[in-house]
Chains A and B, each alone.
Chain A
């Protein structure tokens, strides 16, 4: 049986200068070498003359990038404008969490919201930062923050209690706006 062979034309139209090979090799080597030496000694003028360096390296603990609004860091709890946490301990995030990292003990309060979390624990060593808890929350009480610095030497310190999680609402306006926009199409 005859085999159909399809010939693919490579769209490479090299000039004579490129075809002789050597000059292009030298050009490539010069580019890599230039970057190598700039990286190697480039910090000297930056230190001596305070010049801004041309290279793209963020000196992490001192310098940080601004993350986009959609970025998901560790989950946090929102304190409303009245100074009380917004969470009503409905248990939906606990149910939704695929890593089983949230545990809540609800209790009754005299406030209008009736219910509040007596304890609210997130096991950060388990959390996979998926954002399901934020999506499922009916009260906008749990949001994903921009905080990613959660490493620690001790597993027991990875259990974040309610006090460690609470953040005032006014610091979270951008994320709140993003969440409202992102989930608006579901028409909650």
Chain B
């Protein structure tokens, strides 16, 4: 455990820690381009030069390990002069196209130039020209001119995605980053290179020129695409439109990476075929109605001839896209208000790899299991419920989400739904399932509500509301508690936080969970 002094501050760090890491952990700023916490050390940008007493020359902080009694100065005149010099070299061949460049606003070069650079260029010669914007992969555009050769992207492809598509070719000031002929930068995590690129050389085709980054607000949330629960930031403009997701650091879950599929999944939320109003079937058509009307129709439909819920003949199919709170409210509604044990859920399975992408293509299958959304006490499972439709055991179905269609026998299920007396579908998007329903209830996506997800390894994490739900649609927990009220069984909740407090009381594994503790890194429920 070496103890050393940095900017008159005495710090004790673990053995083998570099100066840069120790400084960043203790809130001392040292500018750097090529160093990235999750990648190996390259030491090629020379931006992190610091002065260490008794060393003859300045040394790079990113690759110098701390030793006992070291005295480091990070902002001495000598260091500042060296930094200005390095900045000048970086800018010699860098084109001055900040007004065009999409990185402007989150560009390291821009920030450091402002903080440490010199205001005037002394370079009178011709700048060297390289290739401007060309497609380097399915999702990425590359601008060779802007590249400062920090090689973060090269190291990322070599060490993290382990595909090694990009490399540095040629030597000296002619060297450039390129792909091997015939192979694009097309791995499943390729868009991470645009995050770690400190300049505007690698930019996302999807986000390019859509909006300036300084207009965006970042809201911390969780990616809903698979059960890994990668931590993300939702970038929103004017509180009403989502422009992109960015990964957020959480060493327990996703380090600082996320997959391209998850990153581009924000388009689902903006899609045109969102349900925006409750619909009621009249004849062949579904007509929009007000919430109260739709809920009273459902309440009537759920009740038998004697005015009581027709328990054993009702089935409830939950969604693995539920937050924990919604799952809890749903099972309480089914078990207590409708007096049935026929609750189940299903998950669409798909591609998986050994890095981040998990098999289950829904955010919260683990949470759904924890919230007891599977059949208990003799309740029917999904396949039994489907069989029950044709035999007359199940007459009423309350389906949430359209994951059912992902099953192999999806088509067959769709046909058998015609035999039901009453079908309620609650979903975010229009689907084949929702077209069959007697009543359709529009619900909000994960970006439009608060709550928690439990990822596949049992880490409970917060999602936060980023935008308003479109039209009249509401979060699922609100719909269910309103519906319950319409059925005459009152479940009053003002916020998901209240539901979580109740979950903590009732489900043993969640007894330590509350919103204050979760913060932005989540807590484990084992």
Contact = CB atoms under 8 A, between A and B. Distances in A.
B378 interface: no
Contact of A88 (B100, B120, B133): B100
Given A114-B100, A114-B133, A91 B209 contact: no
Contacts of A138: 98-99
Contact of A108 (B99, B208, B214): B208
Contacts, number: 37
B100 A108 contact: no
Given A114-B133, A138-B99, A139-B99, A106 B104 contact: no
Contact of B214 (A95, A106, A115): A95
B209 A115 contact: yes
A95 B215 CA distance: 8
Interface in B187-241: 208-212, 214-215
Interface in B448-479: none
A139 B97 CA distance: 10
Contacts of B100: 88, 90, 113-115
A1 B215 CA distance: 66
Interface in A89-144: 89-92, 94-95, 106-108, 113-115, 138-139
A106 B120 CA distance: 30
**Chain A interface mostly:** loop
Contacts of B215: 91, 94-95
B99 A107 contact: no
Contacts of B133: 114
A55 B99 CA distance: 51
B209 A95 contact: no
In this complex, the member of A89, A91, A92, A107 whose beta carbon has the largest number of chain B beta carbons within 10 angstroms is A91
Interface residues of A, number: 16
Interface string B94-110: 00011110001000000
Contacts of B98: 90, 138
A91 B212 contact: yes
A106 B209 contact: yes
B346 to A, nearest CB: 41
Interface in A40-55: none
Contacts of A95: 212, 214-215
Contacts of B104: 90
Contacts of A139: 99
Nearest to A95: B214
A188 to B, nearest CB: 11
Contacts of A89: 209
A107 B212 contact: no
B209 A107 contact: yes
A91 to B, nearest CB: 4
B99 A90 contact: yes
A90 B104 CA distance: 9
A90 to B, nearest CB: 4
Contacts of B210: 106
B140 to A, nearest CB: 14
Nearest to B97: A114
In this complex, the member of A94, A106, A107 whose beta carbon has the largest number of chain B beta carbons within 10 angstroms is A106
Contacts of A90: 98-100, 104, 212
Contacts of A107: 209
A89 B104 CA distance: 12
B150 to A, nearest CB: 23
Contacts of A115: 99-100, 209
B243 to A, nearest CB: 12
Nearest to B102: A115
Contacts of A94: 212, 215
A170 B133 CA distance: 32
Contacts of A114: 97, 100, 132-133
Contacts of A108: 208-209
A69 B245 CA distance: 47
Contacts of B214: 91, 95
A101 to B, nearest CB: 15
In this complex, the member of B99, B120, B132, B215 whose beta carbon has the largest number of chain A beta carbons within 10 angstroms is B99
Given A90-B104, A91-B215, 19 more contacts: A88-B100, A90-B98, A90-B212, A91-B214, A94-B212, A94-B215, A95-B215, A106-B211, A107-B209, A108-B209, A113-B100, A114-B100, A114-B132, A114-B133, A115-B99, A115-B100, A139-B99, A187-B119, A187-B120
What 3 pairs across the A-B complex have the smallest Cβ distances? Answer: A90-B99, A91-B212, A106-B209
5 contacts: A89-B209, A106-B210, A108-B209, A114-B132, A115-B100
